[in-house]
Structure 1
């Protein structure tokens, strides 16, 4: 464990640099000073949000925050009580779905917060309305719905659009997934499905009424195919359509898709090694944003927290919350117009930020600070003390007790894995952080505003306190102890603490 502690020590200065840069930015860019003419003006009103360390600004701003919504993992799959639903019986259990996931210990390591059965026929729309309310509570403007299947095979997009229309003040960014069945549709078939979605009242439109179409893995169809799609959509809807492709492999696609695009996005990295603001080499995140802006296009920055995939046998080391903060830093410093949280609910890849069993509301609430900073141009004033603590329930190298034959290994370009407890503090005045893990005490100063503190992970439980003048003003403890061996390999970061 001394090696791990040593690695934590060597990055303390680096972490401080990232945190400071993400809290205070003075970078000026033409998109900040002169928003695109179809965008809205900024509001400065605030709502009292006692569940956050600050009062959330409200109103519409030029900058948009979407969360990528995966249809496969709604709040409930079968409308059964959460303690015995499909998630519990089939996705979390290693032997679930007839044992097809046994080699990697079960399909999932987390799930949406369970609920009781809803005794009404439109329970799916009710669940969507719940998720929309969850997202709005931290300032998210809409879901980027991953439209995977043709409309004849799935009504998920239609129901989500209906729920958003009922809820109001929430947009659905139609995102055609070209990595799946939609890639096999003809132009006519594709347009028949997508035009129906884009015509829905809740489909996202620019302020001048222009509907917006995004596409995941857009590069799997040539620009000429997309040009034909956009021309057909324009003819059918009698209005132009703003196209924002999301590239998995960017390469030279910004130039190739320039003539048909309103903006661009890249699915992006999941580790600090791919997030450095100082890297301006061709193909780096900063370079891609600059390429888009030089062409007069908007940029939608991907904002991940973590990524671990049991069924694929791979994980990315996000170094607790460092990847997340660096992604926000890229968006803010480089003047991205939109961001996309990666993801709202993809539990199979452990990228979900929605309220869940493993991290409660805390991942959303932790991101709320950066959402407010991004949308309103400055960090919100901290009015309530809080701490958010991330950790794994096992050492990275620990082997599971369950006989898994496909274990997750670090991705080829990821950061070196570590075993750490990270405390993100929000303080109304200077304070002191104490982390007691095993027989080790780690102390840090908590600055006014946001700060971070790292401690080595130890087996068993831990407690974290933030004190001021000898009085505890915030505290948290492990909700699941750190064990070796774990029952199944679980390399996601859990979160404890927060205010709800």
Structure 2
């Protein structure tokens, strides 16, 4: 079933069809400070302002319809019979959702949901959302979400910004004047992001989809209307960056959803900075797209951590996290049903590290875990699918699948780490600091321990059992931590 009018369903179909990789190859439960590990909470309160971190906001709000979780649009998206059964072979549109909330009684429930999102984002140190504009008509779901976001920002914590970012793929045939008029109207809002000199920050996803002449026309139209622009696009095909060098003031790049992309990320970032452009490095947690029948291997939490390390190594001016909420690509960091708060809390730690230039002190022992709930090679999984999910559209460009259980430990002093599976226990003596401990994925229940001497410090069972059979593959990395109970 569908709770959307035809117009919104049409936009959803367009979004579902749009595969960004194909272009290249050919309520939320608000985290209180008391719930966050002490080391992270202390780090995020430092007030560093020089470097900015934004998260890409794309399409998926806390709730589409304010219905109960078992009957709402997300339930439809997660069902093989949802979306009128068009994705039955794939097992549905998405594999997880924002943490459900009860229906809200207020008429402005969507604004209140957005306010909760902004508070949650600001709580971990995010400076704002980079909003993907896939529609400019007043009735477009994109514009509805954007208006809700800007309204919520008025009521939210101070300093939260919204960067307008044009989705060139969707708006490729939209007249330039119409796009300019929409931007000029939105630019009147005080929460739309600007540079310190007053220039409007304008982003764009895959600017290379438009020719340079179209961009010049848009920028000239905005300038003629009195709106000076700081043009800050996110390139999909970074080889085209050179074609736009005279137009852009800064740049970022999409992709980098596997470890083998990190050297390219560093190279492009260094070149952009050498050219005198502001550079926003990109950070991905993972990438799994069941509706496109493929996934990218992120090695548990390693891609996320390596992306942050790359941003700091090259001296990035900013970071764009991809994404806050793109459930169609499985790249969300917002607290959700499968990843829980794992990437969200890690983001708090790394945002503080990036902004302050030094690693935050670890004042509390915290264990995180990351693992899939089935092996990519398990023969009994995906029994209802007529195909197996692949690693990328063009397999020779993909990183090979890894099937590991990871225990990521933040220790205030040395200790012994143990991962317990149906095949027994494996242990590692760890130093103080951050330690990643991996063992092969094993079906059944799994738990994690920290001990010192004969004393057990933390005993943490995973909230997710690893299975050997399934009707539809779920290759999302699931997560959790000792600092929060599973939701």
1:211 counterpart residue number: 200
Deviations 1:285-315 (A, max 9, x none): 2221121111111111110011111111111
Matched, 1:404 2:392: no
Please list every run of 5 or more consecutive structure 1 residues that lacks an aligned counterpart in the other structure: 1-46, 277-283
Which structure 2 residues correspond to residues 13-52 of structure 1 after superposition, within 5 A? Answer: 51-52=36-37
What is the deviation of 1:475? Answer: 3.2
Matched, 1:257 2:244: yes
1:164 counterpart residue number: 153
What is the deviation of 1:473? Answer: 2.6
1:115 counterpart residue number: 101
The count of residues paired between Structure 1 and Structure 2 equals 442
Which structure 2 residues correspond to residues 208-287 of structure 1 after superposition, within 5 A? Answer: 208-236=197-225, 238-251=226-239, 253-276=240-263, 284-287=264-267
What is the CA–CA distance in structure 1 between the aligned matches of 2:256 and 2:360, rounded to whole Å?
Answer: 27
What is the CA–CA distance in structure 2 between the aligned matches of 1:166 and 1:230, rounded to whole Å?
Answer: 31
Matched, 1:62 2:50: yes
Counterparts in 2 of 1:258 and 1:218: CA distance versus 1, 3 Å: same
What is the deviation of 1:273? Answer: 1.1
What is the CA–CA distance in structure 2 between the aligned matches of 1:438 and 1:377, rounded to whole Å?
Answer: 42
What is the CA–CA distance in structure 2 between the aligned matches of 1:235 and 1:352, rounded to whole Å?
Answer: 38
What is the CA–CA distance in structure 1 between the aligned matches of 2:70 and 2:100, rounded to whole Å?
Answer: 7
Matched, 1:338 2:318: yes
What is the CA–CA distance in structure 2 between the aligned matches of 1:161 and 1:406, rounded to whole Å?
Answer: 43
- What SS does the corresponding residue of 1:152 show, helix, strand or coil? coil
CA contact (8 A) 2:287 2:296 kept: yes
What is the CA–CA distance in structure 2 between the aligned matches of 1:408 and 1:157, rounded to whole Å?
Answer: 34
- What SS does the corresponding residue of 2:65 show, helix, strand or coil? coil
Which consecutive segments of 4 or more residues in structure 1 shift more than 4 A?
A: 47-50
1:465 counterpart residue number: 449
Which structure 2 residues correspond to residues 435-474 of structure 1 after superposition, within 5 A? Answer: 435-474=419-458
What is the deviation of 1:68? Answer: 0.6
CA contact (8 A) 1:53 1:385 kept: no
CA contact (8 A) 1:112 1:355 kept: yes
What is the CA–CA distance in structure 2 between the aligned matches of 1:266 and 1:96, rounded to whole Å?
Answer: 33
Deviations 1:405-445 (A, max 9, x none): 24311122222212101111111111110001112211112
CA contact (8 A) 2:341 2:480 kept: no
1:85 counterpart residue number: 72
Aligned with residue 172 of structure 2, among 166, 174, 183:
183
What is the deviation of 1:84? Answer: 2.6
What is the CA–CA distance in structure 2 between the aligned matches of 1:80 and 1:351, rounded to whole Å?
Answer: 24
What is the CA–CA distance in structure 2 between the aligned matches of 1:498 and 1:374, rounded to whole Å?
Answer: 24
- What SS does the corresponding residue of 2:282 show, helix, strand or coil? strand
**Which deviates the most, 92-101 or 331-340?**
92-101
- What SS does the corresponding residue of 1:232 show, helix, strand or coil? helix
CA contact (8 A) 1:217 1:246 kept: yes
What is the CA–CA distance in structure 2 between the aligned matches of 1:471 and 1:51, rounded to whole Å?
Answer: 24
Matched, 1:290 2:270: yes
CA root-mean-square deviation: 1.6
1:483 counterpart residue number: 467
What is the deviation of 1:270? Answer: 0.9
CA contact (8 A) 1:63 1:375 kept: yes
What is the deviation of 1:59? Answer: 2.1
CA contact (8 A) 1:216 1:246 kept: yes
CA contact (8 A) 2:184 2:227 kept: no
Counterparts in 2 of 1:227 and 1:472: CA distance versus 1, 3 Å: farther
- What SS does the corresponding residue of 1:435 show, helix, strand or coil? strand
CA contact (8 A) 2:384 2:471 kept: no
Deviations 1:237-292 (A, max 9, x none): x24110011111111x322212221101110321111114xxxxxxx222211211
What is the deviation of 1:401? Answer: 5.2
2:336 counterpart residue number: 356
What is the deviation of 1:130? Answer: 0.7
What is the deviation of 1:351? Answer: 0.8
Matched, 1:202 2:152: no
CA contact (8 A) 2:375 2:441 kept: yes
What is the CA–CA distance in structure 2 between the aligned matches of 1:245 and 1:138, rounded to whole Å?
Answer: 24
Q: TM-score, normalised by structure 2?
A: 0.88
Please list every run of 5 or more consecutive structure 2 residues that lacks an aligned counterpart in the other structure: 1-31
1:431 counterpart residue number: 415
Counterparts in 2 of 1:50 and 1:347: CA distance versus 1, 3 Å: closer
**Which deviates the most, 202-211 or 293-302?**
202-211
Q: TM-score, normalised by structure 1?
A: 0.85
CA contact (8 A) 1:65 1:141 kept: yes
What is the CA–CA distance in structure 1 between the aligned matches of 2:435 and 2:201, rounded to whole Å?
Answer: 37
Aligned with residue 141 of structure 1, among 121, 127, 136:
127
What is the CA–CA distance in structure 2 between the aligned matches of 1:61 and 1:179, rounded to whole Å?
Answer: 33
Aligned with residue 310 of structure 1, among 274, 281, 290:
290
Matched, 1:382 2:362: yes
